[in-house]
Amino acid sequence: MKFKKHLFICTNERAAGEKKSCGEKHGLALVAAFKKSLLEKGLKAEVRAQRAGCLDACETGPTLVVYPEGIYYRNVQLSDVEEIIQKHIIEDKPVERLVLKN
């Protein structure tokens, strides 16, 4: 596998009048923040962060999923980026307060 971890960050945007979507709640800003932080920490070669379409968890958005674990995070804010990278990506411990439970 090329990457040790892969972050898919929802950037889906729905038409006006439809249910809320992650993209309108800073989805692209989250992608940029994760990419910037991974680059600054020298993790870009082993961890990839990228845009994703709908992760089907709009009501809990903004959402992202980390593979290979398949752990979903809900209501992710820009202020959570550094914590997710430090705890989950570097220390391999999910940020439990943000984990989307089934």
Q: Residue 1 pLDDT > 70, yes or no?
A: no
Pairing of strands 47-52, 71-73: unpaired
Burial class (CB in 10 A: 0-12, 13-18, 19+), 22: buried
Compute the distance between CA of residue 83 and CA of residue 77 in angstroms, rounded to an integer.
11
Which of residues 88 and 61 earns the better pLDDT score? Answer: 88
Instruction: For residues 5-30, give the mean pLDDT.
Output: 79
Q: What is the pLDDT of residue 54?
A: 84
Structural domain count of the chain: 1
Domain containing residue 80: CATH number: 3.40.30.10
Q: What is the pLDDT of residue 43?
A: 97
Burial of 58-69, coded b for 16+ CB within 10 Å and e otherwise, reads bebbbbbbbeee
What range defines the domain where residue 50 resides? 5-98
Summarize pLDDT for 47-59 with one digit per residue, the tens: 999 999 888 887 8
**pLDDT class for 31, splitting at 50, 70, 90?**
very high
Q: pTM value?
A: 0.90
Instruction: For residues 30-42, give the mean pLDDT.
Output: 97
Tell me if the bond preceding 62 is cis, omega within 30° of 0: yes
Q: Letter for the amino acid at 2?
A: K
